[in-house]
Amino acid sequence: MIKFEEVSKTYPGGHLALSKVNFHVAPGEMVFLTGHSGAGKSTLLKLISLMERPSVGRVYINGHDLSRITRRDVAYVRRDIGMIFQNHQLLMDKTVFDNVALPLVIEGYSRKQIYARVHAALDRVGLLHKQNNPPATLSGGEQQRVGIARAVVNRPPIILADEPTGNLDPALSLEIIRLFEAFNKAGASVFIATHDLGLIARMHYRTLTLKGGQMINDGLTETPGVQA
Amino acid sequence: MSLLFKSRQSGAQQHQIGLLQKLLMFFTSHFRQCIASFGEIIRTPLASVMTIAVLGLSITLPGTLYVLVKNLNNISADTQQAAEISVFLKQQASDADIQQLIKRIRTWPEIESLTFVSADDALEEFRRLSGFGDAVDYLDSNPLPNVLLVYPSDKFGTPATAKTLLDKLIQEREVESGKLDIEWLERLHAILAIANELVTMIALLLFIAVILIVGNTIRLNIFNKRSEILVMKLVGATDSFIQRPFLYTGFWYGFLGGIMAWITIAILLWWMSSNIEDILALYNQDFDLAGMSFSTLMSMLGISIFMGLAGSAISVSRYVSQIEPR
Ligand SMILES: Nc1ncnc2c1ncn2[C@@H]1O[C@H](COP(=O)(O)OP(=O)(O)O)[C@@H](O)[C@H]1O
Ligand SMILES: [Mg+2]
């Protein structure tokens, strides 16, 4: 589903953020990406969502070489990827409903379909009752769930999350991860970047570890999960 | 459309919908964005009003000048005196000859009307008005010729056509010579030509300035919505989708600016007309400020909308693509 081949990324200014990274995420897989702050996790996710381009090497999604995607077509690629960010990236002057509906409006869904799908997505994250509130009136955990609802509302085959639990306490973090598990069970490939090793330790998922831009570990976490 | 996943369907393809329905959806979506842009202008009137006012006033100035020049054109066209032709007849032409001549040329389409001033009448008038009445009495014979005053019809009232008419009149057997008093008419026409060009030039310069001003307003709008644009790009909005509301905003600026120009021009003309009529009454001139015709009003609105759209298009094409999530 997602494949990196000898990918390096040098930022303008000469900083080497990723160095010769290779890995493959299978369809329907749920994978964690970890490493200290500055290890290159965000950079790696940005190469998938085409917010950055690799300096060397190739990135494939579903067998398609992303280097062939033109600037014009980037938007269409992003419609296949649900993205979740640590700072939510919600529109504060719109309601929760409008935020979640945004991807569908962009794709030209009919009003009826938008209504049905937004309701379903908000129901999944348990926020249907807050659909008419502005995001600012919601707690941090709730705002993150709105971001998740927006990411999954058009049922993308790939979900990318960059530090989705960054500001949340452990209980709330686990709740968020459970949501991702549910979407993964429904068929999506899920790729979560986090530096919260304690969180990963409680799961049995494949974990890719970055250090200074290099992939130093690709495997299951050692410690058996402590289920909440 | 999904580029990477063949089997994946999206919004418009979800149902097997016909072309007509797709078109309908396209238009309703545009209509919705169009109305939404209008709503935004209404909700944040302060910034918009300034731009709309600039648009409106920039059309008001050349628009008002245009009306004034057009009215002057009308005066010069209406003024028959302008092209009054004095035709001096030969001394040896008899009264019968003269009656024949008048009968002949009266039917020419170039001629609106003509007046015969006999040599005796002319001398009598000279005696009365000049103050040299006694001197006239010492003359053996009347030195003045018989004169025909010819007024060309509307279509032949321009200096060029009046000149042609004069040449044609001189060809007549009974005519000695002719004189066309066109100097002031030619001057008026030259001034009007300059005025016309001046109005065009002022309009062009103003229009360029306005397009830049609208462009700048839209540029600020785009930067104010920077975070919204970033989020939209993150969830897969194309540049053209993001650009559309700004183009509609430009359209509305132009539309409202055009309406404002209509109103201000109407007020200005109403206000000026009483003054101008007072002055012209002294000159026995009738100056009826012709209101604007339907097509003039529509082209003013069209120009205004064009400027709004052009200014918006310039900014949108430059700045929307520059805002990229990082
Ligand atoms: N736009 C950028 N320009 C220059 N350097 C960058 C940029 N983004 C990230 N970096 C650098 O690349 C390295 C990796 O950053 P990042 O991918 O954000 O790491 P992580 O998400 O693991 O904390 C860091 O040293 C960071 O300073
Ligand atoms: Mg990061």
Q: What is the pLDDT of residues B236-251, one digit of tens each?
A: 999 999 999 999 999 9
Spell out the residues 6+ positions from residue B113 whose beta carbon is closer than 8 angstroms to its own. Answer: B151
pTM (two decimals): 0.76
pLDDT of residue A228: 36
Which residues of chain A approach chain B closer than 8 Å at the C-beta?
46, 49, 51-52, 61-62, 64, 69, 72-73, 75-80, 83, 89-91, 102-104, 106-110, 113, 150, 154, 157
Min mean pLDDT across A20-29, A159-168, B66-75, B199-208 is at: B66-75
DSSP one-letter string for B221-270:
HHHHTHHHHHHHHHTT--HHHHHHHHHHHHHHHHHHHHHHHHHHHHHHHH
| Residue A37 CA, closest ligand 1 atom number | 23
Closest Cα to atom 16 of ligand 1: A40
Largest CA-CA distance found in chain B, in angstroms, rounded: 117
Ligand 1-lining residues (CB < 6 angstroms): A 11, 13, 15, 17, 35, 37-43; B 326
Judge whether A108 and B12 are in contact, CB under 8 Å.
yes
Q: How far is the CA of A15 from the centre of ligand 1 (A)?
A: 8
Q: What is the pLDDT of residues A73-113, one digit of tens each?
A: 999 999 999 999 988 899 998 999 999 999 999 988 888 88
> From CA A39, how far away is CA A21, in angstroms rounded?
12
| Residue A213 CA, closest ligand 1 atom number | 14
pLDDT score of B227 more than 60? yes
Average pLDDT estimate for A169-177: 88
Residue from A70, A79, A94, A150 whose CB has the most chain B CBs within 10 Å, to mutate: A79
| Residue A39 CA, closest ligand 1 atom number | 22
> From CA B212, how far away is CA B308, in angstroms rounded?
10
CA nearest to A103 within chain B:
B235
pLDDT score of A221 more than 70? no
> From CA A146, how far away is CA A125, in angstroms rounded?
7
Please state, as a whole number, how many other Cβ atoms lie within 10 Å of the Cβ of residue A104.
24
pLDDT band (50, 70, 90) for residue A227: very low
Measured between CB atoms, which of B1, B230, B235 is closest to A150?
Answer: B235
pLDDT of residue B17: 57
pLDDT of residue B131: 67
